[in-house]
């Protein structure tokens, strides 16, 4: 059976929040209220259609996306266009200089008005992409990347991702319609020394691609980056002046974007494209088993920190940009105490409602013999590398923070490190469940995620 001819459309919609919305990603309770826009945030959609089969990928400049938002977008598109809900992916770039879009305890308060508007904005990007459908060609490849990424758990020895997965979609006349870059590194280059909205290095990378491919909509899909930063963050700690740190972070953001762009752009320009492709999608909900926390221990934490936590409120705390250089010990102590009480209280409520598990959506799309996997977590890089190596398809994109984020998914070795001198799994294993409002995951969660995804890939492969 011949492969159906491909149609494609791409579009972007500005999703920058209004000033005064709190930014998320660093915490606890930092109250990083945005005061200006350094670079706007976008939802960028790529709509692919071949015969009756359709896929849409929406890449958003947000730290995470809540599954309720993704599901609302998918339902809206299904009702208006007939596209299957399993065929809609919403993937967050994971910028830490944007607003919160899902529950994260202490790591950024959601603005109800902004969150209420998001589904319509994301659906609008997809609908604009659909309205722009035209005959198209698609090509994909992998390109080696060096000089971007450092393992933040094992700084000098730990693995990083050294390859970017790339896709170019062309119009019939050969001009680029869309360019997709999939690479794993935390967008924390601007760090916390700013009250300015920014898409971090993925935003500057997108701008760089737009200059090189003027008619293309650039999409960035964040790869598994749970233990990988875009660069070594140790270099700025000796610099005490906040203004200097902010300028250095801005410079480093541009450097990371240019370094990545210079390595992927030649491949984006040179890759071959073809006009036929079969499209498919699959969706599965994985129930991640959690381990119970000792209720008495949680109650003890609450009792220990209650007095300090009740000393003031978030509304009374000075915004971060006003207290950055002179935060008092009482303000710092309150932030930690408030987080300890709120996260322990949340986990106590979870203990009252067994079974102890977290629902994690896994999504698989295929474009010809290429797979695009959506993982709903900040996944350690080793797991993404293993999936790509074992995938039955020749090329596999892995988008983390896709459709939802349940927290971190570390490797089994990270769990085994707890109690040892380096303890490199301490943050991902024990701290982040408190942030994302879950109980700690069982140590084999990474293995489960890989095996479930491979089973789905074998199914769509036929």
Q: pLDDT digit string (tens) for 212-270?
A: 999 999 999 999 999 999 987 665 555 567 777 788 888 899 999 999 999 999 999 99
- Does residue 392 surpass a pLDDT of 90? yes
Give the SS3 label for residue 102. Answer: coil
- The residue that leads in pLDDT, 193 or 256, is 256
b/e string for 419-454 if b means 16 or more Cβ within 10 A?
eeeeebbbbbbeebbbbbbbbbbebebbebbbebbb
Q: Is 379 exposed, middle or buried (0-12, 13-18, 19+ CB in 10 A)?
A: buried
The pLDDT mean for the chain works out to 93
**Where are the domains positioned within the chain?**
6-278+360-395, 295-351
Q: Mean pLDDT, to the nearest integer, of 438-462?
A: 93
The pTM of the full predicted model, rounded to 2 decimals, is 0.96
Contacts of 128 (CB under 8 A, 6+ apart): 9, 11, 13, 45
């Amino acid at each position: 059976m011949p492969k159906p001819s491909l149609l494609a459309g791409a579009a972007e919609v500005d999703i920058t929040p209004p000033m005064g919305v709190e930014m998320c990603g660093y915490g606890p309770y930092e109250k990083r209220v945005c005061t200006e826009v350094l670079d706007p945030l976008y939802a960028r959609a790529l709509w692919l259609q071949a015969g009756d089969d359709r896929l849409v990928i929406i890449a958003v400049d947000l730290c995470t996306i809540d599954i309720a938002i993704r599901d609302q977008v998918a339902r809206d598109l299904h009702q208006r266009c007939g596209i299957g809900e399993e065929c809609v992916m919403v993937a967050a770039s994971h910028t830490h200089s944007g607003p919160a879009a899902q529950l994260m305890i202490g790591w950024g308060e959601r603005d109800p008005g902004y969150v209420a508007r998001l589904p319509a904005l994301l659906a609008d990007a997809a609908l604009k992409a659909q309205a722009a459908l035209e005959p198209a060609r698609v090509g994909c490849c992998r390109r080696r990347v060096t000089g971007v990424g450092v393992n933040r758990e094992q700084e000098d020895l730990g693995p990083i991702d050294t390859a970017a997965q790339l896709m170019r979609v062309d119009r019939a006349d050969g001009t680029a319609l869309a360019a997709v870059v999939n690479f794993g590194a935390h967008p924390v280059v601007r760090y916390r020394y700013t009250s300015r909205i920014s898409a971090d290095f993925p935003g500057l990378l997108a701008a760089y691609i737009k200059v090189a491919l003027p008619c293309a909509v650039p999409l960035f899909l964040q790869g598994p980056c749970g233990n990988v930063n875009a660069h070594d963050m140790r270099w700025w700690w000796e610099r005490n002046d906040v203004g200097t740190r902010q300028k250095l972070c801005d410079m480093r953001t541009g450097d990371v974007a240019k370094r990545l762009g210079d390595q992927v752009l030649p491949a984006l320009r040179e890759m071959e494209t073809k006009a036929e492709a079969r499209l498919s999608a699959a969706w599965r909900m994985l129930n991640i088993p959690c381990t119970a926390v000792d209720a008495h221990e949680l109650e003890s934490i609450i009792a220990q920190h209650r007095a300090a936590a009740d000393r003031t409120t978030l509304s009374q705390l000075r915004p971060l940009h006003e207290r950055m250089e002179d935060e008092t010990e009482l303000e710092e102590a309150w932030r930690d105490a408030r987080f300890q009480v709120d996260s322990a209280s949340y986990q106590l409520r979870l203990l009252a409602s067994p079974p102890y598990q977290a629902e994690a959506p896994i999504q698989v799309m295929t474009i010809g013999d290429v797979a695009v996997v959506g993982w709903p977590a900040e996944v350690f890089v080793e797991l993404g590398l293993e999936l790509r190596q074992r995938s039955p398809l020749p090329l596999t994109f892995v988008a983390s923070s896709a459709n939802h984020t349940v927290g971190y998914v570390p490797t089994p070795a990270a769990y085994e490190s707890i109690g040892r001198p380096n303890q490199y799994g301490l943050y991902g294993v024990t701290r982040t469940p408190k942030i994302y409002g879950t109980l700690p995951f069982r140590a084999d969660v990474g293995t489960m995620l890989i095996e479930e995804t491979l089973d789905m890939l074998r199914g769509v492969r036929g």
